[in-house]
Amino acid sequence: MGDLWYLALAYGVIWLGLFGYLFRLTARAEGLSREVNLLRGMLNADPPQSDGLVEADTPAEAGAGTAGGEA
């Protein structure tokens, strides 16, 4: 096998690895976002849960505020 074959293999692995990981992260984020929105909708649709549970100091909101999304 020549130099170019090894060069192509190394760069191929790096690009596939990077974009594969990014694709996996994006797919997981979309799935989670759908599920979070669904759960939010379910909880907000139910009248007894709507009062008090969406305050900023509930654990859910606190969790959202501590996220590393702003990393």
Partner 1 sequence: MIAFELPAVTPARAKTGLAILALTLLLAALVAAFVIAPTEREMGDVQRIFYFHVASAWTAFLAFFVVFLASIAYLRTKTPRWDIVAASAAEIGIVFTTLTLISGSVWARSAWGTWWTWEPRLTTTLMLWLIYVSYLILREMVEEPDRRAAFAAVFGIIGFVDVPIVFMSIRWWRTLHPQVVGSEGFNMEGAMLPALFLSVIAFTVVFLHILILRAGLERSQHEMMELRRRARWIQEGGG
3-state DSSP assignment of residue 49 = helix
Least distance (Å) between residue 64 CB and partner 1: 5
Indicate the length of the chain as a whole number: 71
Q: Please give the backbone phi and psi of residue 27, each rounded to the nearest 5 degrees, phi first.
A: -65, -45
Least distance (Å) between residue 54 CB and partner 1: 10
Cβ proximity of 12 and 22 under 8 Å: no
| Residues at the interface with partner 1 (CB under 8 A) | 1, 3-4, 6-7, 9-11, 13-14, 17-18, 21-22, 25-26, 28-29, 32-33, 35-36, 39-40, 42-43, 46, 48-49, 53, 56-60, 62-71
